[in-house]
Structure 1
Amino acid sequence: MVSNVLHEIRHAFANFRLFFQMTTNPASTLRERLALAAPGPVEFQRSDLRETSGFRRERIEYPGLEGDIIPAFLFTPTHRPPLGGVVVFHQHNGEFHFGKSEVAGDVGDPYQAFGPALARRGVAVLAPDSVTFEDRRGAVQGVEPEHYDWLRHYSAMAYRLLDGDTLMRKCLDDAQRALSVLADATGVDGRHIGIAGHSYGGYTALYHAAVDARCQFVCISGAVCSFETRRREGTGITLFETVPGLARDIDTHDVLSAIGPRPTFVVSGTEDKYSRDADQVVAKVTGHFITERRVNRGHALDQERFDAIVEWLVDHAGDP
C-alpha cells in the first residue's frame, strides 16, 4: 500500500516537473523533444542570377539534414547594401506545386510576393521550398500540379512517424539552415535577420522563432490559433505539427511566449479559422513584445495586410 502511494507521488511529481519545464522553458524542451540539432554553418551554391528593377534574384541550393537538396531564391537590393535580411516561408493553400516561386511573384497570389517587395525596400530575402513543395516533390519539379502531390506531403509525415521521427524536426532543421544560409550569402549582421510567413509559412515561423534564438524578429500571419479552438471547430492541423503528445504539453501561447522578448508581429483575421482566437492567444502571453494587426476578414492576405507586413519587416530589419 505504502509503495503504491509512493509510486503515485513520484508519478505526480514527475508530471509536475515536466509541466513546469514546459511552461518555464518551452523552447528548450521542444528542442529536446524533437532531438533538434543546434544550428551551424551550411555550405551553399549559387546559380541563375537575374537582375530586374530594384533587385537581383539568384537560385541558391544547400544540403538538408537527410542529404536532400534544398532550393531557394535569394533576393537582394541592387541600389544599396541590405538593411537586413528575412527568411520568408511560403504558404500551403493546397498548392504543393507553388513554393519559392510564389514568394517571387512568378505564380499564385500576388499578396505572397514578399521577395521583390522587400528587396526593393532594401531587405534581403531568402525564400526556400518547403519539403514536398515545388522543386522538392521528388521526381516532379516545377510549378505545375501533379495528382499525387498531396500524398507526397502526407507520406513525408507518415514515414517519419513510422521511424519514430517527426516532420516538425525536418521542417525546423530546414528552417535553421535557411537562416544560416541567408546570413552567410548576404553578409548581413545577425542582429538584423528575422523570419516571416503566412498560413503554413506562419506556423513554420512560429515554431522556428521559438526554438532558434538567432531569429531577431518574426512576423506570423494567419497562423496563431489555440489547439482547443482548432479542435472544437474541426480546423485542420498542419502535418508537421503532428508530434505525439504535443497538445498535451504545450499550446500556441506557450510557443508564442518562447519568442519573447524579440519583436513579434501577429497578423490575423476574425473570419480566419486558422487565426480565429489569435487575440485571445496573444492576451495569454506576458510581456510587451507582440504587435497585433487584426482585421475583420478571412484567411487570404489582402493589400492592407501585405503592406503592413512589408512595412513592419523593413522597420525591424533596419533597426540599430
Structure 2
Amino acid sequence: MASPPDRAAVAAEPRRRNLSPWASWSLHLRAVVDEDPCPDAADAVPAWRERVRARLAEMLGSPPPTAPLDPEVTDEVDAGDHVRRRILYDVEPTMSVPAYLLVPKARVAGPPGPAVLAVHGHGPGKEMICGLTGPAQEHYALQLVRLGYVVLAPDLRCFGERQDPQWSPEVHKYDCDWNLVAATMAGAVPLAQNLWDLQRSVDLLVAHPLVDPARIAVAGLSYGATMSLFLAATDDRIGAAIVSGYLSSWRAAHSVPWNLCGSQVLPGQLGRLEHLDVASLVAPRPILVESGTDDLLFPVDAARATVASLRRVYAALGADPDRVEHDVFEGGHRWHGTRTEAFLETAW
C-alpha cells in the first residue's frame, strides 16, 4: 500500500472563488442554451410557434379574477389640439387603473376610428409620455394623438399614480422590484399582472364609441416596449405594434447588471423563451422595431440578428417579411418616432 504524499510537498491547487451573485448569474447567462430554438426548416416553424405559445401560457399562469371595468372620467382638460381625460377603471376586484385618454379635437364627435394603447417605460408613468413632464423625445402618446389617434395611456403597477406612497429612493430603486418579492410569496407574476391590466385596457378601447375595434395598435419604449411586445403576442385584437428600445435577446439585454426589473421577467424563461420566440406570436401582424446604435441596454447587433430571424419566421408562416420593419437610428435608449406615422397608416 502506497504511503500518503507529504502534504507540505504538494503544490496547492488554485481555487476560483467568487463572492458576487451577479458574476455568478453572468456565468449562468452565458452558459444558457436554448432548449427549443427556432428551426431552420420553414415547414417546422408553425409547430415550433405553437410550442412557444404553450410555454408562454405556462409561464404567465392563470389570469386573476376579473371585475366590471366601470370606467369613470374624473377630469377633463382642453390641451389645445386634443382633449385629455383622466379616467379610472377596474381590472380586478381589488385593483383599479388610472389612465389618460387623449382624444384629437377633430374626433371628439366621432365616428369610430383607430386607437393606440401607449405604454410608458420606467419613469413617471403616463405623465411623461402624455407630454406633462420630461423631455419632448419621450412624449410619444402626445405624438400619437397629434397624428389623429385616440390614445389610452395607463399607469402600470408601481408607476405613476400606482406607486405606493411609502416608496422612498433611499430604500427602493423601483417599486417593481419589491413588488416582485411580494408576488413571489403569493405565487404571482408581475409581468402577467401588468399584461392583464393592458388586456383589460384593450377591453375598454374596444367598447369605446370613438374606437374602431379592428384598428387598435400598441406602442411603448423600454419597459413599455416589453409590455407592448407581450401584449401583441397574447392578444390578437392588437393590429400593430411599435416596440422601441427592447427587441434583442435576453442574453444580450441582461449582460448589464442594472438592466433588470421585477416587472419584466418570467419564471424559468432562460433557455425556454427568447425575444424572438415572443415576437413570433405577433405574426402576421405588422411590427415596427426601433433600435438606437448607442443603446447599451438592448444592443443594436442583437436587435439586428433578432429582426432578421423574425423576418424569416414571418416568411415561413406565409406572411410578408416586410411587415417586420426595423428603424435603426443614431442615438441611445430612447423613442425615435420618425417612422410612426407611415407605419400606422399602412398597418390595417
TM-score between the two structures when normalised by the length of structure 1: 0.82
What are the ranges of 5 or more consecutive residues in structure 1 without an aligned counterpart? 1-14
Match of 1:30 in 2: 56
- Tell me if structure 1 keeps the 8 A contact 2:247–2:289: yes
Residue of 189, 211, 229 corresponding to 2:212: 189
Deviations 1:84-124 (A, max 9, x none): 000000111xx3xx111111101012122223322222100
Residue 141 of structure 2 aligns with an amino acid whose one-letter code is: G
- 1:138 is aligned to 2:156: no
**Residue identity in the other structure for 1:182:** L
Identity %: 25
Q: Map residues 64-213 of structure 1 onto 2, 5 A cutoff.
A: 64-65=91-92, 67-80=94-107, 81=110, 83-92=113-122, 95=123, 98-139=124-165, 147-148=170-171, 150-213=173-236
**Any unmatched runs of 5+ in structure 2?**
1-34, 315-320
Structure 1 pair 157/233, CA: closer, same or farther in 2 (3 Å)? closer
> Which residue is 2:291 aligned to?
268
User: Which whole-Å deviations, capped at 9, do the CAs of 1:273-315 have from their partners, x for residues lacking one?
Assistant: 23311110111121212111012321123xxx223234433x1
Does the 8 A contact of 1:28 with 1:211 survive in 2? Answer: no
Shift of 1:174: 0.9
1:70–1:249 distance in 2 versus 1, CA, 3 Å? same
Match of 2:305 in 1: 280
AA in 2 matched with 1:89: V
Query: Aligned equivalents of 1:37 and 1:257: distance in 2?
Result: 22
- The 3 A distance-change label for structure 1 pair 161 and 33 is same
The residue aligned with 1:8 is: none
Q: CA RMSD in A?
A: 2.7
2:68–2:91 Cα contact (<8 Å) kept: no
Residue-pair matches, total:
291
Shift of 1:146: 5.6
Preserved CA contact (<8 Å) 2:59 2:266: no
Q: Residue 71 of structure 2 aligns with which residue?
A: 44
Which structure dedicates a bigger proportion of its chain to helix? 1
Q: Which is greater in Rg?
A: 2
Counterpart-to-counterpart distance in 2, 1:118 and 1:290: 20
TM-score, length-normalised on structure 2? 0.76
- The structure 1 residue matched to 2:327, chosen from 275, 293, 309, is 293
What amino acid is aligned across from residue 272 of structure 1 in structure 2?
D
